[in-house]
Chain A
């Protein structure tokens, strides 16, 4: 075997090994989701369950709480949050990156400070504000606090900074208005950054349990993590089979979406690189 081939083989080996290590918790969760209760804590390791229970754990996770309803709520809330975040962040980041207006440095500093403050620290004041505004247990209460995303503004500003000024000048000379420049020229150019923001925002708000558990009081507005929370029992020990089945069902839409978006991601990268 030539040394180049050996090197390639070794590279593959290391990468595959790393991938398996990262995927192992997921594979383990899938394994447990198909185990009956008495197998979860067996002293001997068995790859296959002692008796095949089929999708019983998944059925329990789906029926013990209205998981599909929670998933629908999750989709509604996350889509609304992301749309609002983009509507706010894109113009904001453009101004911060390209405009020459006094006071922008102060605003940029404020964005950085907001970036550093952890959301959990704001939970209590946000809760009081939401209660005073009558937004407890409403979709608006779930969505509004997250519509201005400092991370989004930060990411998109950095992306806008990389766009050469000459391009914008040229577009202005061609007679395009500011809004048109933004929407038809710049947004497609920074689409990888927008894609990154969408994914980060989606994952964090899909899995968020802290804010919904503060704001939601009736089951009708509950979001996906509530479905998993059901099986974590402090007093008697969690029921791991249905718990992991539920967790996998909640993670599945995100995984599918990521696999689909990944292609767009890579396309964006190649386009940028080829220019």
Chain B
């Protein structure tokens, strides 16, 4: 009798224990800029819960910006309370990789049975590589594009259906648009964008490199590096670029006072609503010397930070869903960033019809095969190095330094800030 009771109770205990073990796994997710990402991410979490009820995704309170998400993760590393998945800025990935917080994803990719059939665009996946290894999956990327005021372009004799493709063409038209009497400026580039985004675009479209192959020396001490500052100077001298802050320049473009405006494709939706019917907005690929020049791409990249293997596996499933056809369709419908999934773009029910009806949204994705990652400087002085480039650009824009001087100074100073 006693033995029977013992057997029954042990069996019950074992069943109970195994039931507890097979319960839902919970993973925590942290993301920035709720204005952009809250709606699509919440929808993705709901859709994912329907598909995988055994994985529970808990969304933590979003932060204001990519930098604040990175800070929150680093704080969590100190107190042992990191989120399991974080949406990181593409140029900030190395912060987690250097501190060995990010989980490498190559192992997970290798175990996937048909990875190349899942529709991931190789050019965009490359934005998740750090030191040649995959650490992040792109969730919402943008690239710099050319916005233009079609009305001003027509008045200067240009054709909105054939926007300028190279810098000489753009500068010639911009000069015609600039008119002091009506307070109209030919061009404006948001060179102040965080992380030297536009500067890296100028560098990479001219086949420049940020760092040397071994990653220890500056790589832009080249004609391509010089070209970046020359273009800035030309924009000011010939293209009529005013010395304004991002806010002021964007305001001026929305008000119809600027002909060509260069910035991230992320602003298309916001511009469309803020410009309204004031003028006709057009978009075009960023000017580059060749149609196949590399272009920079950045935005939100998903990274796994969990230490527990079960949570890592669950996080990987969530990431695959969010960056897969369903997740990317939800993301694009809400905020119009570039999808990293080809299946989403090709399937008519998913995004095919969306792009057919929104020509201005197509510009960004037309560039996606050429994308290369938006990079951050390695080491502890990364932010200082970004500031050095920023100061060099500013000195050219306000005509305090020639492009040669700006290049020389930035090369020397950044070299001093790189890790030895």
Instruction: Give residues in A with beta carbon < 8 Å to B.
Output: 37-38, 40-43, 64-65, 127-128, 131-132, 136, 213-214, 216-219, 222, 226, 229-237, 239
Q: Which of the four size classes fits the interface of chain B?
A: 35 or more
The residue that B33 contacts in the complex, of A132, A216, A219, A233, with Cβ under 8 A, is A233
Complex contact B267–A217 (CB within 8 A): no
- Nearest first, the 4 A-B pairs at minimum CB distance are A131-B79, A38-B276, A43-B255, A41-B254
A38-B273, A128-B79, A131-B81 given; A234·B266 CB < 8 A: no
Minimum CB–CB distance from A241 to chain B (whole Å) comes to 10
Which residues of chain A are within 8 angstroms of B275 by Cβ–Cβ distance? 38
A231-B34 Cα distance, complex, nearest whole Å: 8
Complex contact B256–A136 (CB within 8 A): no
Complex contact A136–B255 (CB within 8 A): no
Which B residues from 329 to 361 make CB contacts under 8 A with A?
A: none
Minimum CB–CB distance from A62 to chain B (whole Å) comes to 15
Which candidate, B56-64, B302-310, B317-325, B392-400, is the interface stretch facing chain A? B56-64
A131-B79, A136-B79 given; A237·B267 CB < 8 A: yes
Complex contact B61–A136 (CB within 8 A): no
Q: Residue of A at shortest CB range from B278?
A: A38
Complex contact A233–B63 (CB within 8 A): no
Q: Is B18 located at the chain interface by the 8 A CB criterion? A: no
Q: Is B115 located at the chain interface by the 8 A CB criterion? A: no
Which residues of chain B are within 8 angstroms of A226 by Cβ–Cβ distance? 61
Minimum CB–CB distance from A28 to chain B (whole Å) comes to 15
Q: Is B10 located at the chain interface by the 8 A CB criterion? A: no
The residue that B266 contacts in the complex, of A214, A216, A235, A239, with Cβ under 8 A, is A235
A37-B272 Cα distance, complex, nearest whole Å: 10
Complex contact A128–B78 (CB within 8 A): yes
Minimum CB–CB distance from A103 to chain B (whole Å) comes to 36
Produce 1/0 per residue, B253-290, CB < 8 A to A: 01111000000101101100111111000000000000
A38-B274, A38-B278, A43-B255 given; A233·B36 CB < 8 A: yes
Which residues of chain B are within 8 angstroms of A136 by Cβ–Cβ distance? 79, 81
Which residues of chain B are within 8 angstroms of A231 by Cβ–Cβ distance? 35
A230-B33 Cα distance, complex, nearest whole Å: 7
Q: Residue of A at shortest CB range from B64?
A: A229
Complex contact B63–A234 (CB within 8 A): no
A41-B254, A41-B255, A128-B79 given; A236·B270 CB < 8 A: yes
Which residues of chain A are within 8 angstroms of B269 by Cβ–Cβ distance? 236
Q: Is B251 located at the chain interface by the 8 A CB criterion? A: yes
Which residues of chain A are within 8 angstroms of B267 by Cβ–Cβ distance? 235-237
A231-B62 Cα distance, complex, nearest whole Å: 12
Complex contact B255–A234 (CB within 8 A): no
Which residues of chain A are within 8 angstroms of B60 by Cβ–Cβ distance? 217-218
Task: Pull 20 A–B residue pairs with CB atoms less than 8 Å apart, ordered by A.
Answer: A38-B274, A43-B256, A136-B79, A136-B81, A216-B61, A218-B61, A219-B61, A226-B61, A229-B64, A230-B38, A232-B64, A233-B33, A234-B64, A234-B194, A235-B36, A235-B142, A235-B267, A235-B299, A236-B266, A237-B246
Q: Is B52 located at the chain interface by the 8 A CB criterion? A: no
Question: Which of A43, A127, A128 has most chain B Cβ within 10 Å?
Answer: A43
Minimum CB–CB distance from A239 to chain B (whole Å) comes to 7
Q: Besides A236-B267, A237-B247, A237-B250, 12 other CB < 8 A contacts?
A: A37-B276, A38-B277, A41-B250, A41-B255, A127-B75, A128-B79, A132-B79, A213-B63, A213-B64, A217-B60, A233-B35, A235-B264
Which residues of chain A are within 8 angstroms of B251 by Cβ–Cβ distance? 41
A213-B69 Cα distance, complex, nearest whole Å: 11
Which B residues from 46 to 105 make CB contacts under 8 A with A?
A: 60-61, 63-66, 68, 72, 75, 78-79, 81
